[in-house]
């Protein structure tokens, strides 16, 4: 096959024009950023890169924002190119780490660049899947640091959902890497989407019609509203009844795990979507998947199995991995007609369907209920419409008039998707690695290379243009002194707001009055010769322009992230110096350990330096490690235990006070809600037994245990050569946790 033919077809598929364009850039060894809607085939470009580099004898890295996506890609490529060619690194899972094709989380790639760039010296291409996660509040920094620290010989492929500022993102990457970045944009969906709201009495409708109906209801007297049957709840059953004949299969996004399950069970009481042959196929698939896992002893399983026999299911992060795998496999084979799922089902995993439904347009984000953003909406809505099967994909959102708020709905316009915004922040690990690897001058340069600084400078440029335009308008009122007057007035107002000394306050007020008098004189002089009506109008214009200029100055002054990150770096360096991690410009033994721990570095390092990793038994150590950084869900109860955690709690309180003193806030987290469960699990108790005493989802418990495994592995890797006795003990800890239901079965 010639190069020209390869660009037009791949794996027997005819490439779309945007895929051909991306592939041609890759063939020229360029970095590429592809922005296209969900479900149009971006991952085919990633598959092309991986296969091309592998066949040429090179190394390639695929990174993803979530472990589930990494695991899925590992299984896909293992089946496609063979087990020996593919490895996976996700912190808690390490398989074939020297393979030419490495699947990993973005965090692992960033860690390699910071700690041991030699490990990736042969990597030719890095794929950043779902690169729009760069504005994830908790993890966006990982993408930025990965792109900043990538060696110049490496190229990357970034895959993103449609974003309006993709050119800005590419411009930033070019500025830090010194290499051109080709941008490939694609706006059209292979299967177009049709959007509608659904209300029980109106059927498929628009926001305008719902508003009119709701306004009519509100215009009724209160006593009639209370007794009226004009407003009745709209439920998921109403929408399924409307869609069951022409719109299935359906993904039904429901932003609550409990509601996912309750809705599925309620639907199962009323509907059965499968015939006998399909039921036989469901049983066969279940038997196939179950063979890959230990015996399933989940309380959910009997009821879920009954639902599966009716073509109904639910999927969320609180389920055991084996149950999620069964649901995913059945949905892929079109044996699930209605799947209630949470938002995580839309991230990366390729599960198209005919229709996407939303139970609500608001979700809980950990702090409050808020409307879903347009980008979140289209990330999920993009699953609607199967290529080669459906001419149109349908997206329906329930509008329940019993709690209707017209401001709580996304616009449903793809050209109104929100731009990416940097969420860059400095972790302790980043600080110590910067000190370990760079001099002071280089650190200052790096701190100014993040996407936030790039965006701020771009915004500053735009603000300065606006300021020049306002100044031009102001100058018709008199001499060009307005920039000076506005800035002096703002500075005096700021000082006056915090000044407590009476004499100084009087002096500041006097200076402020003098500036106001200058402004009033400009107004009077300009008004000479004008009639009173014109004068009043011109004064209003003058004051409005001055206030607008003041707001622009305020925005401009607030846009200096380089200083903010420099201050954050210095504050954290001072704290680390006080803790003994840094001496002068060098790391101590504690600092070197912190450079190899990613997340909750302070508590882990202090525990190690205090000898607690040596002192506790393996079972106790597992209980403590799952408690570090653990965030219990709402209403999750703490299971009592008898482990003496007072040495750890003493360190926790000490570090909290130190952070408050140096930073003004604390990041250290320690919650022992599942410590007792980890202790008993490490002693060999069955998973189903330890779950009986806890109000926690089984999937969350698996996740908590795997976080503990990840932390234990990090410490073991850091001390492996220097402390073989502790290394062996940590290996035993991991073995006691990483078994049966808690293991990842790939």
Q: Tell me the DSSP string of 94-131.
A: EE-TT-SEEEEEHHHHHHHHHH-GGGGTTEEEEEETTG
CA 554, distance to chain mean position in Å, is 30
Q: What is the pLDDT of residue 527?
A: 86
Q: What is the pLDDT of residue 119?
A: 82
Considering the chain, what is the average pLDDT of its residues? 90
Backbone angles phi, psi at 315, to 5 degrees: -155, 125
Report the distance separating Cα 608 and Cα 140, nearest Å: 29
CATH code at 585-742: 1.10.3380.30
Q: Looking at residues 708-737, what average pLDDT do you find?
A: 94
| Residue 175 clears pLDDT 90, i.e. is over it | yes
| Residue 410 clears pLDDT 70, i.e. is over it | yes
More confident site: 10 or 205: 205
The beta strand positions in 286-368, using DSSP E, are 312-315, 338-341, 355-358, 362-364
More confident site: 402 or 277: 277
More confident site: 216 or 661: 661
pTM: 0.86
> Which CATH superfamily groups domain 193-416?
P-loop containing nucleotide triphosphate hydrolases (3.40.50.300)
Q: Which tens digits make up the pLDDT trace of 91-144? A: 788 899 899 999 998 999 999 998 878 888 899 999 999 898 898 888 889 999
CB 605 within 8 A of CB 594: yes
**pLDDT band at residue 217 under the 50/70/90 scheme:** confident
Q: What is the pLDDT of residue 6?
A: 52
Indicate the SS3 state at residue 295: coil
Report how far apart, in Å, the C-alpha atoms of 558 and of each of 103, 366, 423, 551 are: 40, 28, 16, 11
The closest of 608, 709, 66 to 324, measured between CA atoms, is: 66
Q: Which long-range contacts (CB under 8 A, 24 or more apart) does 575-583 make?
A: 575/658, 575/659, 575/662, 575/663, 576/428, 576/431, 576/432, 578/658, 578/662, 579/606, 579/658, 581/432, 581/605, 582/432, 582/435
Q: Do domains 3-185 and 585-742 have the same CATH topology?
A: no
Q: Where along the chain do its domains lie?
A: 3-185, 193-416, 451-557, 585-742
Question: Could you tell me which residues are beta bridge partners of residue 14?
Answer: 9
More confident site: 358 or 457: 358
Q: Looking at residues 703-712, what average pLDDT do you find?
A: 95
**Which of 43-57, 145-159, 219-233, 668-682 is the least confident region?**
219-233
Report the distance separating Cα 551 and Cα 364, nearest Å: 33
Q: Looking at residues 317-344, what average pLDDT do you find?
A: 93
Q: Looking at residues 662-689, what average pLDDT do you find?
A: 95
- Return the DSSP state at 469: H
Report the distance separating Cα 714 and Cα 708, nearest Å: 10
| Residue 303 clears pLDDT 90, i.e. is over it | yes
CB 188 within 8 A of CB 57: no
Q: Which tens digits make up the pLDDT trace of 455-468? A: 988 888 889 999 99
Q: What is the pLDDT of residue 313?
A: 97
Q: What is the pLDDT of residue 4?
A: 52
The closest of 155, 154, 129, 148 to 36, measured between CA atoms, is: 129
Q: Which tens digits make up the pLDDT trace of 66-92? A: 887 888 888 888 888 888 999 999 878
| Residue 647 clears pLDDT 90, i.e. is over it | yes
Show the CA angle centred on residue 335, arms to residues 333 and 340, nearest 5°: 105
CB 357 within 8 A of CB 194: no
Report how far apart, in Å, the C-alpha atoms of 525 and of each of 215, 473, 482, 535, 745 are: 52, 16, 15, 11, 82
Q: What is the pLDDT of residue 1?
A: 42
Q: Strands 155-160 and 94-95, how do they pair?
A: unpaired
Residue 396: which H helix or E strand, with range? strand 393-398
Report the distance separating Cα 582 and Cα 576, nearest Å: 6
Q: Tell me how long the chain is.
A: 746
Number of CB atoms found within 10 A of residue 58's CB: 14
Any residues with CB less than 8 A from the CB of 69 and at least 6 apart, and which? 129, 130, 347, 348, 349
Q: Which two tokens stand for residue 298?
A: 């989940």
> Is the domain 3-185 a CATH 3.30.1490.20 member?
no
Indicate the SS3 state at residue 409: coil
Q: Which two tokens stand for residue 30?
A: 């360029």
Q: What is the pLDDT of residue 732?
A: 97
More confident site: 452 or 67: 452
Q: What is the pLDDT of residue 603?
A: 97
Q: Which two tokens stand for residue 401?
A: 């008039």
Question: Could you tell me which residues are beta bridge partners of residue 205?
Answer: 197
Q: What is the pLDDT of residue 431?
A: 96
The closest of 77, 79, 135 to 104, measured between CA atoms, is: 77
Q: Strands 586-587 and 369-371, how do they pair?
A: unpaired
Report the distance separating Cα 242 and Cα 348, nearest Å: 29
Quickly tell me which residue has 């695929």 as its tokens: 62
Report the distance separating Cα 266 and Cα 686, nearest Å: 31
Report how far apart, in Å, the C-alpha atoms of 174 and of each of 154, 156, 178, 327 are: 13, 12, 5, 42
Q: Looking at residues 4-19, what average pLDDT do you find?
A: 79
**pLDDT band at residue 731 under the 50/70/90 scheme:** very high
Q: Which tens digits make up the pLDDT trace of 253-278? A: 999 999 999 999 999 999 999 999 99
**pLDDT band at residue 227 under the 50/70/90 scheme:** low
């Amino acid at each position: 096959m010639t190069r020209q033919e390869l660009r037009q077809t791949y794996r027997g598929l005819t490439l779309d024009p945007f895929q051909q364009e991306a592939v041609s850039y890759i063939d020229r060894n360029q970095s590429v950023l592809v922005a296209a809607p969900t479900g149009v085939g971006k991952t085919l470009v990633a598959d092309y890169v991986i296969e091309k580099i592998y066949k040429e004898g090179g190394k390639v890295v695929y990174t993803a924002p979530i472990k589930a996506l990494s695991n899925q890609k590992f299984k896909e490529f293992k089946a496609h190119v063979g087990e020996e060619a593919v490895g996976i690194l996700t912190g808690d899972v390490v398989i074939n780490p020297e393979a030419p094709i490495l699947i990993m989380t973005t965090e692992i790639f960033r860690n390699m660049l910071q700690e041991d760039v030699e490990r990736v010296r042969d990597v030719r291409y890095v794929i950043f899947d779902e690169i729009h996660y760069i504005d994830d509040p908790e993890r966006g920094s990982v993408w930025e640091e990965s792109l900043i620290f990538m060696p110049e010989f490496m190229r990357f492929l970034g895959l993103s959902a449609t974003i309006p500022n993709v050119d800005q993102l590419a411009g930033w990457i070019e500025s830090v890497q010194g290499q051109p970045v080709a941008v490939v944009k694609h706006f059209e969906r292979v299967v177009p989407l049709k959007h509608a709201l659904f209300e029980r009495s109106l059927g498929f409708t628009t926001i305008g019609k719902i508003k009119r109906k709701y306004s009519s209801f509100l215009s009724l007297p209160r006593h009639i509203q209370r007794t009226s049957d004009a407003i009745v709840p709209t439920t998921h059953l109403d929408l399924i009844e409307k869609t069951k004949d022409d719109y299935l299969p359906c993904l039904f996004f429901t932003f609550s795990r409990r509601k996912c399950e309750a809705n599925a069970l309620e639907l199962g009481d009323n509907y059965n979507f499968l015939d006998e042959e399909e039921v036989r196929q469901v049983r066969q698939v279940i038997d196939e998947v179950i063979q890959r896992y230990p015996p399933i002893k989940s309380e959910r399983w009997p009821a879920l199995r009954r639902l599966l026999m009716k073509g109904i299911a639910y999927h969320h992060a609180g389920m055991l991995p084996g149950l999620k795998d069964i649901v995913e496999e059945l949905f892929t084979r079109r044996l699930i007609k209605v799947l209630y799922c949470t938002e995580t089902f839309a991230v990366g995993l390729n599960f198209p369907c005919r229709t996407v439904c939303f139970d609500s347009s608001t979700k809980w984000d950990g702090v409050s209920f808020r409307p879903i953003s347009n980008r979140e909406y289209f990330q999920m809505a993009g699953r609607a419409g199967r290529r080669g099967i459906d001419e149109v994909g349908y997206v329906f959102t329930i509008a329940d008039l019993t709690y209707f708020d017209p401001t709580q709905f996304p616009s449903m316009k793809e050209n109104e998707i929100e731009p990416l915004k940097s969420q860059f922040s400095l972790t302790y690990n980043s600080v110590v690695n910067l000190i370990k690897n760079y001099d002071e001058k280089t650190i200052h340069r790096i701190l100014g290379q993040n996407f936030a600084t790039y965006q701020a400078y771009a915004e500053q440029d735009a603000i300065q243009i606006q300021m020049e335009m306002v100044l031009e308008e102001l100058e018709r009122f008199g001499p060009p002194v307005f920039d000076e007057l506005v800035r002096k007035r703002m500075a005096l107002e700021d000082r006056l707001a915090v000044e407590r000394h009476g004499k100084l306050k009087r002096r500041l007020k006097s200076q402020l009055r003098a500036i106001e008098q200058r402004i009033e004189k400009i107004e009077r002089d300009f008004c000479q010769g004008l009639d009173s009506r014109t004068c009043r109008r011109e004064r209003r214009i003058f004051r409005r322009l001055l206030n607008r200029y003041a707001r622009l100055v305020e925005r401009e002054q607030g846009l200096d992230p380089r200083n903010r990150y420099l201050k954050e770096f210095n504050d954290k360096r001072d704290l680390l110096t006080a803790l003994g991690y840094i001496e002068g410009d060098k790391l101590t033994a504690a600092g070197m350990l912190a450079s190899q721990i990613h997340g909750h570095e302070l508590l882990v390092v202090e525990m190690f330096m205090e000898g607690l990793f040596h002192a506790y038994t393996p079972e106790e150590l597992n209980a403590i490690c799952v408690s570090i950084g653990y965030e219990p869900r709402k209403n999750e109860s703490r299971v009592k235990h008898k482990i003496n955690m007072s040495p750890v709690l003493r360190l926790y309180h000490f570090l909290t006070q130190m952070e408050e003193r140096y930073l003004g806030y604390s990041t250290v987290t320690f919650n022992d809600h599942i410590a007792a469960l980890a202790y008993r699990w490490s002693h060999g108790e069955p998973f189903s037994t330890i779950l009986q005493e806890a109000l926690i989802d089984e999937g969350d418990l698996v996740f908590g245990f795997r976080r503990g495994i990840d932390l234990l592995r990090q410490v073991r890797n850091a001390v492996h050569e220097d402390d073989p006795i502790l290394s062996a003990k940590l290996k035993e800890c991991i073995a006691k946790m990483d078994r049966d239901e808690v293991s990842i079965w790939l």
